[in-house]
Structure 1
């Protein structure tokens, strides 16, 4: 009897969908079909691939409202924000389609009449993508489009929590006219996922998820020499410098943006702001205004149009966040929002009211580990050097944000920050023109930008020498 997986909505714990887990024989057929399709797909020129990929994005956008409803049901984001994910996904995908040609162009090296030297980018083969639930379309498209445009075929394994998204992608590519088996998907548990990544017919693996998940995959393919891209999350810091004048327009915009960076998607973002360092010159006014902005959230059923904060993905996530809060408070942190300020009595256990902690330090888990929840700690600092040391005091290194009018000094700080991305006066954002990378335990490899195509292809060199007499 085949095993099944279930997508359980965090809104009310009802089962949204059930699917059978792929069998061993189906795994073999799936990978065999992907390899056969790749031979033909790689022969299409980039312009032909671009047309099909653009048409797939068009097909997804035609169903924006329906898909937005599914996103909210599957992972609990307020419905008012869900359609925007499809729009941003489309922008990101189209950028990656448009830069494929220059990224994959053949390099010609000082050729003469007697010799020709070239470097071509060659597709790796079959790419297996393991995508997360928190931004189910944005995270998946980061790998899907460049993999396809580079001439690879794709097998997508989406999170059980958002399993309908893989089916939506497949339908869109089918409607676009993509050749059979160039894009496929499967529903897996941990055991079947391990069998797929170990299979000799899989040539590249892209994983977005937890550190423990990434470590498990690395261990599984040890000695197989397969390229692996890992995006493993963060505990991203923000630093508000002394030159942000209290009560100025920039001050208000800074607070507004950081609040959004902390609490959007209930803090369930790999690049959410999870710890804040504020210069002592403006600490008091910053924290007062910040707390008042947080109090404006409306935590309720995410299918209601006026809800701005939904549930965490499950009870375990909420329990972990509550433990972080309790530990911090037991060590001297101050919780700034009263327990009864947000009425959550009638909501399920995984609905967590937003919280701001002051008097925090780096002995507390909330400042050192990923929370993935609507909670944040704020620390006072004396100067840039102290802020820099605290920001770098982390096992993670995904993004960091600086808030300042001084671009020159901010650049000096940015150069010393141990992260893949540094923002100035912005946070929690991916620009498809920039490489998306992590350092330390935030991962390895590169998504987005022209550089993403380098890891989805291999260089192949050509040296053609003429045997005819030459004057060269």
Structure 2
């Protein structure tokens, strides 16, 4: 059984049955059967399905958002925004997939030669709990528009969200089997990856789990995209707009109660402005309201699980013990639910726990750098390479971006994912890209076609 604890109350919310091996095999075969006809449909036919699903999501925004609030504690305001963003992703690929996958003519000795982009078959998406709707559509919208079918193995802590996503396709009259909910226990994932009818893997989650998925996919010689953890730097230089930087970095650190791979986690501030910026950041972080995520005035809800809070508390405690100064929060509060207060740590060094490990919660850590060059050095001194932000004059920021070891760099703005732009990491933050024109290319066969007779 997939047992869900309401993170706000700490009480059991509901339980869903997990599939056994027989049921899993039947669903994978159904996905393969559906692929036989879905891959022959036109882009317009596929787009019609995705657009109908998007309309349903917008119409049912309140109900769908409530599922996230109940299962993983997302504040209702953010949850509603996530539903709208997932609908946008579906609409974006419905509108642009045909252009993204236009065959590419290349000159050769052939009468005509080109590359065409063909679907692979059933794609297995292994998804996390922190953005149940957005991450599901980030996976399935491009894959479906490319002509693949999708097997959605969602996190066991959001089974109602997963069921609702699959139901949207049924409500939309989508062809049977193009998107299946695959509610598996963690122990069953390996057999799903190895199944001969599963042709590719998309995984979003921790670096440790991603390493295991990568090994399994490689052993089966299957393509995989991995979007893994991050310890994202936000570099604030002395010529930055400090008010805007403080506003944006504070928001980045508390969105989804800090449970985001691309949140600003290591805030690296140039020495001349360090103390002033810390005060600006502290004021903003202290103003956020923590509480019941169902209350529309709440900014920060609970962490999704008790074990996540335990890990976060250890990371904070170890960092303080190593010499960091705690200006806000830094303790597990009394009461029900898995809440953790907004926490601000200063005097942090890059060798401390909060910098070496990914912190998944509303904990901001500030490091000091003597100059821009040292700030970049600190930013790159990590095993992760997902995203980063730089706060400085824009042309200088663009120049520095080339020196940042990350898959995504934002200059003077909020690091976020956007269906129009590719997203992904390097180093232990993963490989491959999702979203944008590059994302839809990950799960296609780039087939070269040479038409003769050849030319001299």
Q: Which of 342, 345, 349 in structure 2 is aligned with 1:354?
A: 342
Counterpart check, 1:101 vs 2:98: yes
**What is the CA–CA distance in structure 2 between the aligned matches of 1:463 and 1:305, rounded to whole Å?**
59
1:119 match = 115
Residue 304 of structure 1: how far off its partner (Å): 2.1
For residues 250-302 of structure 1, what are the alpha-carbon distances to aligned partners after superposition, in whole Å with 9 as ceiling and x for unaligned?
Answer: 32221111000111111100101111011122111111121111111222121
Contact 1:300–1:347 under 8 Å retained in 2: no
1:365 match = 353
Contact 1:157–1:185 under 8 Å retained in 2: yes
2:378 match = 390
For residues 366-386 of structure 1, what are the alpha-carbon distances to aligned partners after superposition, in whole Å with 9 as ceiling and x for unaligned?
Answer: 012101011121112111110
Counterpart check, 1:415 vs 2:412: no
Say which one has the larger Rg.
1
1:247 match = none
Residue 116 of structure 1: how far off its partner (Å): 2.9
Contact 2:48–2:94 under 8 Å retained in 1: no
**What is the CA–CA distance in structure 2 between the aligned matches of 1:183 and 1:128, rounded to whole Å?**
10
Q: Secondary structure at the match of 1:58?
A: helix
**What is the CA–CA distance in structure 2 between the aligned matches of 1:253 and 1:306, rounded to whole Å?**
23
Structure 1 residues 466 and 171: CA distance shift in structure 2, 3 A: same
2:197 match = 201
Q: Which of 447, 450, 456 in structure 1 is aligned with 2:437?
A: 450
Counterpart check, 1:376 vs 2:364: yes
**What is the CA–CA distance in structure 2 between the aligned matches of 1:23 and 1:207, rounded to whole Å?**
21
**Residues 208-223 of structure 1 mapped to structure 2, 5 A cutoff:** 208-223=204-219
**What is the CA–CA distance in structure 2 between the aligned matches of 1:234 and 1:325, rounded to whole Å?**
17
2:287 match = 296
**Residues 256-267 of structure 1 mapped to structure 2, 5 A cutoff:** 256-267=247-258
Aligned pairs, how many?
456
**What is the CA–CA distance in structure 2 between the aligned matches of 1:430 and 1:390, rounded to whole Å?**
24
Q: Secondary structure at the match of 1:426?
A: coil
Contact 1:110–1:117 under 8 Å retained in 2: yes
**What is the CA–CA distance in structure 1 between the aligned matches of 2:447 and 2:215, rounded to whole Å?**
29
Q: Secondary structure at the match of 1:450?
A: helix
1:280 match = 271
Contact 1:400–1:427 under 8 Å retained in 2: no
Q: Which of 442, 445, 448 in structure 2 is aligned with 1:461?
A: 448
Residue 165 of structure 1: how far off its partner (Å): 1.8
Note the residue ranges of structure 1 that are not aligned, 5 or more in a row: 245-249
**Residues 147-296 of structure 1 mapped to structure 2, 5 A cutoff:** 147-244=143-240, 250-296=241-287
Contact 2:54–2:88 under 8 Å retained in 1: no
Counterpart check, 1:63 vs 2:60: yes
**What is the CA–CA distance in structure 2 between the aligned matches of 1:190 and 1:211, rounded to whole Å?**
16
For residues 296-321 of structure 1, what are the alpha-carbon distances to aligned partners after superposition, in whole Å with 9 as ceiling and x for unaligned?
Answer: 12221212222211111112111111
**What is the CA–CA distance in structure 1 between the aligned matches of 2:330 and 2:402, rounded to whole Å?**
41
**Residues 70-109 of structure 1 mapped to structure 2, 5 A cutoff:** 70-109=67-106
2:48 match = 51
**What is the CA–CA distance in structure 2 between the aligned matches of 1:76 and 1:214, rounded to whole Å?**
24
Contact 1:150–1:457 under 8 Å retained in 2: yes
Q: Which of 411, 418, 424 in structure 1 is aligned with 2:411?
A: 424
For residues 155-175 of structure 1, what are the alpha-carbon distances to aligned partners after superposition, in whole Å with 9 as ceiling and x for unaligned?
Answer: 101111111122111111112
Q: Secondary structure at the match of 1:335?
A: strand
Counterpart check, 1:6 vs 2:3: yes
**Residues 430-445 of structure 1 mapped to structure 2, 5 A cutoff:** 430-445=417-432
For residues 114-156 of structure 1, what are the alpha-carbon distances to aligned partners after superposition, in whole Å with 9 as ceiling and x for unaligned?
Answer: 8232321110111011111111111111110111000101110
**Residues 328-339 of structure 1 mapped to structure 2, 5 A cutoff:** 328-337=319-328
**What is the CA–CA distance in structure 2 between the aligned matches of 1:153 and 1:161, rounded to whole Å?**
24
Q: Secondary structure at the match of 2:385?
A: coil
Q: Secondary structure at the match of 1:160?
A: coil
**What is the CA–CA distance in structure 1 between the aligned matches of 2:308 and 2:257, rounded to whole Å?**
11
Contact 1:238–1:273 under 8 Å retained in 2: yes
TM-score, length of structure 2 as denominator length: 0.96
Q: Secondary structure at the match of 1:322?
A: helix
Counterpart check, 1:21 vs 2:10: no
**What is the CA–CA distance in structure 1 between the aligned matches of 2:89 and 2:217, rounded to whole Å?**
30
